[in-house]
Structure 1
Amino acid sequence: MPPFEVPEGDPFGPHNLPYGVFSRAGSQERTVGVRLGDHVLDAGAAALALGSPYAALLARPTLNPLLAAGRTAWSDVRRALTAWVTVPAHQETVAPFLHPLSSVTLHLPFEVADYVDFYASENHARNVGQIFRPDAEDSLTPNWKHLPIGYHGRSGTVVVSGTDVVRPSGQRKGPADPAPVFGPSVRLDIEAEVGFVVGVPSRAGQPVALADFREHVFGLCLLNDWSARDVQAWEYVPLGPFLGKSFATSVSAWITPLDALEDARTDPPHRTHPLLPYLDDTGEEPGGYDLRISVAINGHTVSEPPFSTMYWTAAQQLAHMTVNGASLRTGDLYGSGTVSGPEPGQRGSLLELTWNGREPLELPDGKRAFLEDGDVVTLTAWAPGADGVRVGLGEVSGRIVAAG
């Protein structure tokens, strides 16, 4: 089938057009690409051939210049790209710049500035509370319904889908152990998340309001925030996640622009506690997104978390992480936190799926409490689009390899 003739219902049709960065076989040169079906368009080369004023943003080895250009440019470039792949008059010029996905290498699509991870799913937070504080009167901590809890992560270990994840080593100590030991994690886990990519920076000392979310955030991607639960359990008191989290965070190779997800916007769950003014989204545009995630281990689906259940929205997370005056930078990435639904088959981590290892999963290749060397974890997702079409969010995959 010719590359312009995307099958009806293809989740990567002209209604989607996510952005990535790729290189062709035998070349080290990276450039911005846009996915169309099972092909990728060399967006910069097409822009140059068509004499487009957007070539300066697209003929680059990273998405950062486009991210920094702002909402007007984002919308203009998207309209131009849509025309390039749908208007017959452009096809002869554009066709040479469409390459089969199987023939290219995909790279980390943007230079990550800062990385922040949140804890925004009430279902996930309650499950964790019940696992570790079974006798507590409330499984949520007292602050949970008042602010989006988060921590500042490590941007240097954000990697693109397909990158192997080396089993991390660190200190661990069980409750009955007389002293800590050092070695590879034996409780390696996943966290199925959605990442939001910041384009336009902000000035230090100037918080970003809820209403300005779409002026700063370019798009989203799938994210797996790998977790060494045993390392984390020993180290995190009193300052929170550190080595148990910082060894790897995987993101999908495709960044879906927010403009492709208009039909997936939805209201967040009912808020049970009054919110302070900077977080109160009453009367604001719907801040949630209806994203359907699937989690597979070695090709076997183990969970289908629904992002629409997330209590805190991406706009509230952005407002909270800047309310103290912290500035945004182009390429900032923030994760939603583990996405978990109310049903057992909708949990976004092995910690929850196996109830801290006490109820191992039955997989075709054996039981799993936590990840074993050689396991391949793959997250995929889609969102509803106009007229029933799906908007594909790609995948984020990683294989666990033994510690060196």
Structure 2
Amino acid sequence: MDVARLMVLLYFDVCFSDDLTLRENVTILLDNLLQTYDKSVRPAGRDGPLVIKTNMLVRSMGPITESEMTYSLQCYLRQSWHDERLKFDLPNVTEVTLSNTFLKDIWKPNTYFLNGRLSTQPNITVPNVFVRIRKDGSIYMSRRLTINAKCPMNLLDYPMDAPVCPLLLAGYGYTTDEIIYRWQTSNKSGVEIYDDVTLSQFDIVSIWTANNTYSDALGTQSGLEVYFHLKRHIGFFMLQTYLPCTLIVCLSWVSFWINRDAAPARVLLGVTTILSTAAVGLIQRDGLPRVPYATALDVFLNVCIFYNLAAIIQYSAVNYFTKILPKEGGASYEEDETENVLNEDQNGVLDWNSTIGKETQTGCLILFCRCLLGNFRFRYNMVKSADAANGNSVSSIDILSRYIFPLSFCLFQAFYWAWYLRFKLS
């Protein structure tokens, strides 16, 4: 009996008063309660299964990792249940607060997280858990936990997405005939959160809770669900991705104002803008999982690359069809070669001198088609009709591109933000 009393004194930290008599009475009481207590036996419920009332207090949250689709949080998991075997009657004492070592000697629920991974309980400086016992046998237990859980994300609207991260709790090894979990709703949801909890990339919009059941080989188990509804901040992506890529696309349009004879400058500008946009895309894609679909960010980056590429293709058309004179005003080697080929046509099927006016007065679409088909005869007529004195004037294709490219890109931007922001604002 003295050994058991000494163990109780080591286990418990009772802070009611400095009265030694009261301390001794509590020690004797707890010693008597544990003498016949069997922690392997589940407490009996009142008129049915044992009810485990649960609530949570979230102390901090994050980080949320898209590459692994996981999130972490620190919380106080509070559970209460009734155990008739721990009822006591002691004058002037309604409840006893005990240290964490007392949990080793009593039954407690086998609560686990269905979608958890590598969750821990802080043990600095001691295990962060305490328990209270009321005189009617009610037990209140609070644990401080660091939870890592899976958060399935649909990244179609990334970075305008609003992920919902669940946390699923259940009791391992007990069916609904033995244990039922219920949210202890001191507020609307049963989950509270500190006002100073913030995330770097998300806003916590709302928290929903629900009671649920899960079925496995052991039977149907009672469980609880928490859903953290988040909304991603878009400011970081506006500054690091959308604005730089938009400016790079606008930079590619500068080539429309560069003289068509400056081929190295226009080609270098086009290649540089493509590589710059691709580099920004690789940096932003580095932290994302390799999903088989295109995100909203992928759509924007690919369209930007398309516009940069289109600027180079546009110069190819300009160089092929409208740059008909070299800088010195004479015919180039390719044009001389084309003329010789045409002069070798002995059949005289086409009289090119008589059709110069018709061939040169064509639209942009016809010019583009002839560029794809490699129409050398048309280019030969353009060379013969060129004004060697004035040289190469401003290309009509460049003039038209100065309006078409910015206008179409603005229309894309308007449609893009209208389409994706409807999810952000809903």
TM-score of the superposition, structure 1-length normalised?
0.22
- Greater percentage in strand: 1
Q: Between Structure 1 and Structure 2, which shows a larger proportion of helix residues? A: 2
Pair member with larger Rg: 2
Higher relative contact order at CA 8 Å, sep ≥6: structure 1 or structure 2? 1
TM-score of the superposed pair, with normalisation by structure 2: 0.21
